[in-house]
Amino acid sequence: MDKKVLVAGGAGYIGSHTCMKLSESGYTPIVFDNLTNGHEEFVRWGLLERGDIRDPQRLAEVIAAHKPLAILHFAALIEVGDSVTNPLAFYENNVIGSLNLLQAAIKGGVNHVVFSSTCATYGLPETETLDETHSQKPINPYGRTKWIVEQAIRDYSDLLGLRAVMLRYFNAAGADFEGRIGEWHQPETHAIPIAIEAALGRRRDFKIFGTDYPTRDGTCVRDYIHVLDLADAHVRAVDYLLAGGKTEAINLGTGVGTTVKELLDTIRTVSGRAFPVEESARRPGDSTLLVADNKKAAALLGWAPRYGIEDIVRSAWNWHTKHNASH
């Protein structure tokens, strides 16, 4: 039996790594992507169907043509800063587009959905580690759009028999260890690629926003999770749903926090290079600490992260030094 799954946003960073893992696990990924933020050369494990989740007719055509067992939904605008300056685009893409996709899934007889959500739905942390029962009070439009889609998924599950896993990512990072695909955003806003670009001399410096946080060295703490660990969890989520699992929200993080200064030290160690660092004031909306409690992922999906911060940095360094020079 051909185990087809539709991967909306499968030409993007996390989507493409997940397609690789799906293929390794016996699934046939069908990528549905408008290539606004995705890269055609990242579609290496299955067909590309060009389309936009804001186009219900195109979604219906592709679902009817391939009859997937499940849909994995990565297609979203993700930059928090952009969501503050242009919230309308985020509501149009992330909310209306997602509702189109859910509607098309149900009409097309696809009852299993894995949704890329985010720890941004929690808002400001009230505890040192965040579990799935933590209150959801998102503080920016990006987090609000993901939270709204989570609510819609729960309602669709209650009323229409949809079963879904909502995966709340912490800080996705790293790359395929063979350097075939990696993190490639334009413009780049994520800490690890920016620091690596500084180490490679492609940026003047790396800015630390805030050195007066109540943490071990005064800088923010984040839970960096390797993109291949995320991809593995998505495959497990598909398996879980196909085996009859019910709708759940699940955190994906390592449970280990890394400060900004610790991250920069790791990049210096891996790269063997020093680079200029500028200390700036805090940015509004940045949390002191964002670290996952990942016990539910272990219990329901049998998942545990395999890679730590040095593996993340090493794989990212490999990707950026080999590939991004040409982009």
Q: Give the catalytic positions in this structure.
A: 142
Q: Return the amino acid letter for 15.
A: G
Q: Which two tokens stand for residue 149?
A: 């889609």
Rounded distance, CA 107 to CA 56, Å?
11
Looking only at the bridges linking them, the beta strands covering 206-209 and 112-118 are unpaired
Q: Return the amino acid letter for 232.
A: D
How many other CB atoms are there within 10 angstroms of residue 6's CB atom? Answer: 28
Rg of the chain over all Cα atoms, to the nearest angstrom: 19
Rounded distance, CA 39 to CA 16, Å?
9
In degrees and rounded to multiples of 5, residue 117 shows phi and psi of: -110, -160
CA distances for 117 relative to 145, 167, 204, 230, 250, angstroms: 10, 5, 33, 12, 9
- Helix axis angle, 191-199 relative to 260-271, nearest 10°? 40
